[in-house]
Amino acid sequence: MIMRDVELIGIASGWGAPDPGCADGPRALRDAAPLVCVLPPRRGFSVLLQPQDEPGETSDLGQVAALARRLAETVSYSLLRQRFPVVIGGDHACAIGTWSGAHAALAQQQESLGLLWVDAHMDAHVPATSPSGALHGMPLACLLGEGDATLISVAGAAPKLLPERVCVIGVRSYEPGERELLQRLGVKVFYMEEIQRRGFAAVWREALEHVRAHSTVYGLTIDVDALDPRDAPGVGSPEPDGIAAVDLVAEVRALAADERLCALEIAEFNPHHDREDRTLRVVRELICAVTGKDEHDR
């Protein structure tokens, strides 16, 4: 078993989402019982608040870009210190900062970055194709080098990800424009229909093998709305008939022994929509699973 030196990074931002309640997700997790399975008592959970003091940055785009730059620096520094960053959002626009920072650090180490993107949505809009203009629907496109120049230039020139190094898993809600973009680029997408037909474990193995075959290290980003709302109701954009929480936790636990896994990100946990702390418990289980331990292990 790999002994990961985990560093929790909370991103208290809802600037990219229509429902900003996900900004309170990191704080809700921090205020719950300590994550003794991951962190020694001496290390706390650092929450990066929304950048209220950025001069002239009053738009959603400006705030998201400013926070992405700070997050990219934090993640890059964490990886260069040989730590394992676990980023907790906040809306999924945080992925721009997380994986831009990971790319910057890994490029210095001559590593190539792959990514498993677990999500009910494609998050692959550009401004011209987005009906809502919500930035949490654009991070994957930005990381692939498509979209707003301010966002795709975070932590250096785009792209941060090559299409053949990405797999999207669990999609069941999308618009034609973002599907066309991912098809044009050649990104591999596993829809919920295929998961229901083949089983989650089989699809997961194929996606993992694909990402491993095209990169030297890889990360995992999980939008909590990929899960079935019966297991994880605490999200701003729930979609029915999602991935069973027990299945995803089991596969993440299996990754605990894989030294090629470099970082984990969990986004869109909205405690204001949670019921009976179901989503909170799943998020905690996922964080602990990446260490191969249970919540109460010491």
pLDDT at 62 (0 to 100): 87
Question: 């991951």: which residue's tokens?
Answer: 38
The residue type of 158 is A
Closest C-alpha among 120, 184, 175 to residue 146: 184
Residue 40 has pLDDT above 90, yes or no: no
Whole-angstrom distance, CA of residue 32 vs CA of residue 27: 9
Tokens matching residue 251: 């596969």
Reported as a single tens digit per residue, the pLDDT across 87-128 is 999 999 999 999 999 999 999 999 999 999 999 999 999 999
Question: Residue 5 has what pLDDT?
Answer: 85
For residues 263-288, average pLDDT: 96
Token pair in block for residue 209:
């093998």
Residues 159-179 have a mean pLDDT of 97
Count of positions (residues) in the chain = 298
Q: 0.85 cut: is pTM over it?
A: yes
Report pLDDT for 296: 56
Which pLDDT score is estimated for 291?
A: 84
E strands, 26-165, in order: 46-49, 84-89, 113-118
Domains along the chain with CATH numbers: 6-289 (3.40.800.10)
Contact partners, residue 39, CB within 8 Å, separation at least 6: 6, 8, 45
Mean pLDDT of 23-28: 91
Highest mean pLDDT among 6-15, 17-26, 42-51, 177-186: 177-186
User: How many helices and strands (H and E) does the chain possess?
Assistant: 10, 8
Is residue 41 scored above 50 in pLDDT? Answer: no
Q: What are the structure tokens assigned to 188, written together?
A: 């591999």
Q: How far apart are CA 196 and CA 170, in angstroms?
A: 10
